[in-house]
Amino acid sequence: MEKVLIANRGEIALRIIEACREEGLFSVAVYSEVEREALHVREASEAVCIGPADPRRSYLSIPALIAACEITGADALHPGYGFLSENPDLAEICEAHGITFIGPSAEVLRLCGDKVAAKEAAKAAGVPILPGSPPLESEEEAQKWAEDLGYPVLLKAAAGGGGRGIRLVRTPEELKALFSQAKKEAERAFGDDRVYLERYVPAPRHVEVQILADKFGNVVHWGTRDCTVQRRHQKLVEEAPAPALSPKLRDRIARAAVRLSEAIGYVGAGTVEFLVDGDDFFFIEINARIQVEHPVSEMLVGRNLIREQLRVAQGKPLGYTQDEIELYGHAIECRINAEDPDRNFLPSTGRVWIHSLPGGMGVRVDTHIYQGMPVLPYYDPLLAKVIAHGEDREEARTRLYSALRRFQISGVKTNRDFLLSVISHPQFARAFLATDLLERIKPSQ
């Protein structure tokens, strides 16, 4: 493996470019016609345009990506997160063309992408799962399962992920109204209309485990992360380790994640996600890619997870055991998005003008913004991730508050002030976390 094509954009593309440089590999950036001046295009060893602004004809086009590999001689492809990062067809086609796909095999990606099959694999590995139905063929079948599970229930897309394709159903009337609608939306969004029901857990914690596995069967975890602070099932604030959990419970969750990863033959970096309800935890899904929130784990472990992905893809062993991983301190991350809280968080477009960016002890900013950069309507609104690390959670939280205050840009609306109000709220400060936190505290916008 000598040259890596990065099938992505934004801050994650920059992270991969930097990791390639550290690992002594050449990098190839791809870009759409409207992103010729993007920072990842400037920083890569070389760059190639793969199509127009519409992601379906550029970043989501497998033929365009494979052609870019052939044109540039790239012998590996890193998908980043989002876009085609969990697409088994891309992994399969890469293999057919002799291109190393930096991620799990197509077989594992298909398993992880099917939420029902992944739950069955977790159950077989002895990992707790929430009671639920198989994929449902009819509304009548759904009504029967909902009665057996007990209302309220969650109606979920079997091929969904990232918080998409989820509906809370409180009554039989709601299920009747939502069932066919959910199937149609699942088909449009994921190309798969299968839906299923799952028992609803009110106000749980959302806890995940970062795992890393090599091609020799070695699997380790980098501890837990808490991603409970969410809006519309989308994560806003992430931290590691998951606070307010006993060391024993954290260890049980982490061991379950490793056990499942070993059982399915996982290779690479991935995240196993759980709901935590008191002292009980239940498997949700496996994100078979690098996560947006991976920097908080890096801050605790002191290793570059992207570089670890590259090393594993080259066939190198991990080189360390679980006992040799030491987690130090606490880290918290906020996602700064180009969106307008005063307009129900609608995406905001314009040009970015930077007035101040944070830095200093224990502060990290992962971003792709530059002075005058256009924020376009075609892509994810993520502008930056601001991460703070401290000896304990309160030190990390205080540092993050100061860092967010120093993150000052204009030209587009952002959720910075909203995030400031969340992390400064007494309930967040005391780690009184649950998925209904934002409803309880009603942070200012």
Residue positions annotated with a catalytic role: 289
User: Where do the DSSP E strands lie in 380-426?
Assistant: 382-390, 408-410
CA distance 402 to 416: 12
Evaluate whether 146 touches 172 at the Cβ level (below 8 Å).
Answer: yes
Question: Amino acid letter at 98?
Answer: G
Of 250, 226, 229, 253, which Cα lies nearest the Cα of 240?
Answer: 226
Q: Which residue has the tokens 């063309």?
A: 97
State the SS3 of 325-357: CCCCCEEEEEEEECEEHHHCCEECCEECEEEEC
CA distance 47 to 36: 9
Tokens at residue 194, please? Answer: 């299968």
DSSP structure class, residue 132: B
- Residues 294, 270, 207, CA angle at the centre, nearest 5°? 65
Instruction: Annotate 384-396 with DSSP letters as a single string.
Output: EEEEEEESSHHHH
| DSSP bridge partners of 198 | 132, 154
Instruction: With residue 181 as reference, give the H or E element that holds it.
Output: helix 172-190
